[in-house]
Chains A and B, each alone.
Chain A
Amino acid sequence: MNDRYTNPYVIGALLGLVLLFSFYTMGRGVGSSSSFTRIATAGVELVAPHHAKTNPYFSKYLQNERSPLMAWLVFLTLGAALGGLFSAFIARRIRGEVARGPSIGVTVRLWLALGGGILSGFAARLARGCTSGQALTGASELAFGSWIFMFCIFAGAYATAYFFRKEWL
């Protein structure tokens, strides 16, 4: 199955061109993490509208007249879902499963996925972006903070990889 993956250097060059196209047309790079914050904000607004408006962070996404979901990155993430679906479909890689290493159970893996998601969602807000919105985009612009951010991702992951080895190996 692995030989169906395209060579990483070729993919990297293509990804760079997609990013360049985004800069040329829109004047900004890609990203995705804030679309999940926006969905969460829309949810909070639905359940507790007053609380959402008075919270200093949620209210950032509620300043416009339009819904917090009518945003550039939300549509970009929807597009990414469709693009990923199309690619997985033509490569016949769509299969319902819980991806994990051979020595870990489904339940533990799902809890770890949830924990990792919570940490990532929190960290992406703290750093004002994720691997794509901050690292890829910012590093291409040669933004100083984005380069530091990218190396800190690797530092964080390498520093703790040992504790999660049973999950993957």
Chain B
Amino acid sequence: MGPLYKFGWFDFAYSLQMAGLIGFLFGFVLERAGFGDPKKLTAIFYLRDFAVLKVMFTAIVVCAVGLLYFSLFGWIDLGRVYLLPTYLWPQMIGGFILGIGFVMGGYCPTTSVVATVSGKLDGMIFIVGMMIGSVIFAEIFPLLKGFYGSGDMGAVRLTDILKVNSGIVALLICLMAVGAYWLVEKVEGKFGDKDSLPKSSPRLKGLGAATLIALGLVLAIANPDKGAAKAPSSAPASVQEPAHTGFKILEDEGC
């Protein structure tokens, strides 16, 4: 049962090697998508190419749905997954500033790494900038401390906000993703360069959309939260009482 690391399958040194492997795959797919090129990345903000949104939404939906199926099958104990806590105001303002940094610098943090290794000097300068930005943050941290901890809502999920189970939320985000794909393809069809946009058959896209919605629908009916609550407590190599009610914050390092 996963997460393997939390059940003592490997130690810290091995986890760093695992990080290298996961990072390798991460960097590989980002470069493959063309995300080492800031013109490709920022094209979304000029309505010409929505690859960034398509990749992000698809990754989120696949992973969110996958996690809930894993939980449903009893393959993963979501109570042991590190859940990012919500600090509403710093996350809103931070997101807004990151967005400005994105369109100004042309990258987000990970894509600047991919750009740098493919030879882009501006990517390397962006990385230098991020380090300077971190130092500025740390130096004025005493002034920001109050704001940094404001809007503390703890480990709150969309399920708590919408007051429905994870399965219903999964179905909603599947529907939202399909709706967003449809919308952005209309927009980029109007503003984008037809030759550089990806070509794919409408039938394949319809099939993909139907599969997503079907996967969400099954989750909405099966209610993975109920399954998680009833899961057998077969927790090896740990004295800690596992939380079977879904996600919770564990002692871990954030990002």
Contact = CB atoms under 8 A, between A and B. Distances in A.
A161 B64 CA distance: 30
Contact of A11 (B42, B55, B195, B254): B55
A40 B131 contact: yes
Interface of chain A, main secondary structure? helix
Contacts of A25: 2-5, 18, 22
Nearest to B13: A70
Interface of B: 2-6, 15-34, 36-40, 42-43, 45-46, 50-51, 54-64, 66-67, 70, 75-76, 80-88, 90-123, 125-139, 141-142, 144-145, 148, 153, 155-161, 166, 169, 173, 181, 195-196, 198, 200, 205, 208, 247, 250, 252-255
B58 A12 contact: yes
Contacts of B34: 2, 5
14 contacts: A11-B33, A15-B26, A27-B252, A34-B254, A81-B23, A84-B118, A113-B122, A116-B105, A123-B93, A130-B110, A135-B95, A142-B169, A157-B100, A168-B42
Given A88-B114, A136-B56, A142-B169, 17 more contacts: A5-B32, A7-B200, A12-B58, A15-B58, A18-B26, A84-B114, A85-B117, A87-B27, A99-B38, A119-B129, A120-B102, A120-B130, A127-B94, A127-B95, A141-B64, A141-B157, A144-B156
By CB atoms of chain A within 10 A, which of B24, B99, B105 has the most?
B99
Interface of A: 2, 5-9, 11-34, 36-37, 39-41, 43-44, 55-58, 70-73, 75-88, 91, 93-101, 109-110, 112-161, 164-165, 167-169
B104 A160 contact: yes
